[in-house]
A and B are shown apart, each in its own frame.
Chain A
Amino acid sequence: MSTSDAQLHYLTIRQAGELIRKGELSPVELTRACLDRIEATDERLHSFIMLLADDALAQARTAEADILRGAYKGPMHGIPFALKDLYDTAGIRTTSGSQVDIDRVPTEDATTTARLKEAGGVLLGKLAMHEFALGGPDWTTPFEPACNPWNLAHITGGSSSGSGSAVASGQCAGALGSCTGGSIRGPASLCGIVGLKATYGRVSRFGVVTLSWSQDHAGPMTRTVEDTAIMLQAIAGHDPRDPTSSKAPVPDYSRSLREDIRGVRIGLPRHYFFADDPGVNREVVTRVEQAVTVLEGLGAHIEEVTLPSLDYVRAANSVIMVSEAFAYHEPNLKTRPQEFGEIVRGRFRIGGMLNASDYLQAQRVRTWARRDFAQVMKTVDFLVTPTMTQPAAAFEGYDPTATVRGKSFTAPFNVTGLPAISVPCGFTEDGLPIGMQIAGKPFDEPGVIQAAYTYQQHAGWHEMKPPI
């Protein structure tokens, strides 16, 4: 690979990591390529809240020196990444996209931040997001909303909005997002990249600002499934500082990067995800149906499954989310309400108006849903669905309540805690990306990754680049 290649910023983590390991690419050169890309595009994309260019170059020089003296740390060493501004970074402002935390400087890194640094990653900066991981593009918050690299007049989806735009546009090799109802998979789908919400407890939430304790997940957003596996490897594993962190052993996810889904049983909950619905875009469904046909051609066995709880999990997710969010944000909501953006101020306030029986009933529905899904997952290995009900909406005429109304294809996997990945599966006729969601059994990230990788390698949508 020529080190003068103008497309250095589009190298995947795996590609760049391999070149760095062999001494054919300098981490400093790669970091400069990303910084140049950010300079060339971020006035239009607004991916970054804070760029840490000098720090990043210093880290890259350290990585280069370490590698040259033989202290190679692995596939993330020297790789430029970025963090949703929800992740604590020691000594570096972490705003959660809000005026409330505009001056908040954490004293220590989030566990995931620290693990990526320990793996040798180069932190480029902090990324735009929807305020406190909820809501939508909101011009009553301090930061300009991120724009979709495939069409700048369209949203990225959220709440990991900057993570979606930065990764899709080549501003960074990978990013971390967070997900409480779909905030990793949503922007991944709408921006044409890969996003993984792992099993609840697989990745530490310590140092990631809370939206809803029992539904929050931290996870990677990358251009390829292999890169998601690499980032997950770096961040997964028990963390004693997160009381919900699982002690389940972390497998070698690279062993899942094999193209083989022969005999795999895939369940399609057609009654919810594929049925005619005025709130669901038929082009999205058609593209995912086509992707399912590809999976079938690759040897998967497809069958229809029924999950009665699906009709209620969206409601459970919403009630639990705002109730827990109110509990977390109550002091500031009562003393500094005007520092919240309009959308989030309202949603969090609603959480204070619901009552205990609403919250408890939502959690009871959640228990039912977990049993319902567990029963179905005895008969299939994965569920496959569209990731989102719509492609990326336009900013003009955007309805912030759209994320509250109608079906949610992502929320069921936050409610149940099951692992779910979004992988690109095509485009609308207008050129907007569409994602396919693959969900699996608890802690079967290896299976989910393998299924997604197999599809990706045959379909090739990850090779497409946005026009910016």
Chain B
Amino acid sequence: MPNELLKIENLEIVYKTDMETVHAVNGIDLSIHEQETLGLVGETGAGKTSTALAILRLLPDRTAKATGRILFQGEDIAAMSDEALRELRGGKISMIFQDPMTSLNPVISVGHQIAEALALHNTQNKTKEEIEARVEEILELVGIPANRKNDYPHQFSGGMKQRVVIAIALSCNPQLLIADEPTTALDVTIQAQVLAMMNELKERLKTSLLMITHDMGIIAQTCEKVGVMYAGEIIEYGSVEDLFEGKQHHPYTIGLFQSIPDIEHKKERLEQIDGLMPDPTNLPKGCKFHPRCKQCMPICREEAPGVYVEGEHRIKCHLFGGTSR
């Protein structure tokens, strides 16, 4: 088994404002191994992006508070010095953000934005010319003609901008790439292109990938391991096979699958999960999914479920008993 690259232990993230306290992430455990792709799937507001930002310590420090441990190659990220953190950001771990329209600086040319990342992590003492050459190389790699490096973000389409964002993220050959809904803002045809490109680049550069999405299709296409997040918890975790082929599932996961159209089985209408995500300022007692669960039992209202483990497959639900942690 390859080495463990990133390990998250009992991560909790709380946003505190004058008005309210939001429990965005409530004790999650994760690990990503080298060259592995882990998918995090869940509805908007499940705490996926907060988890990703916590890994790079990018949470707004005034309002957000993260507890628990995040270890990268055995080193605690929270304890890192500013300098070590800067080396980590963009160098060892880089991130692709959700919205390419706003993630690029509008007043700096795209070539310069890529070159900045390269110059910041210039471990091989490259000259200016070498960096420029590398910028052109990366642009070609993500499918943008090198001669457009002096153009500004407003001159690119959404898909092209996302390619630039990916180029920035990949420029320093990171060990871990965090992709936060990289295709949500894009058209379906462009989505497929960008995903195919990311898969290819990941293979070629031997990067680990944390793929955050709400789209089960993307998970099936790209991931080896999957965590299903609900209300700041990972309620089911396993390999892609466990999730797509396995027999036992968390009721929420079943709901997610039922809401996806299936070509092979004809259905009158898609099933939906009734209700909404619980208010993160006021989470329900017991299992957080119980108000929406079709198989809700009395115990679900009272006690938080333990984890049912079968090999690598873990489910957090009273249906399967499981050992309390």
Q: Do A and B bind each other?
A: no
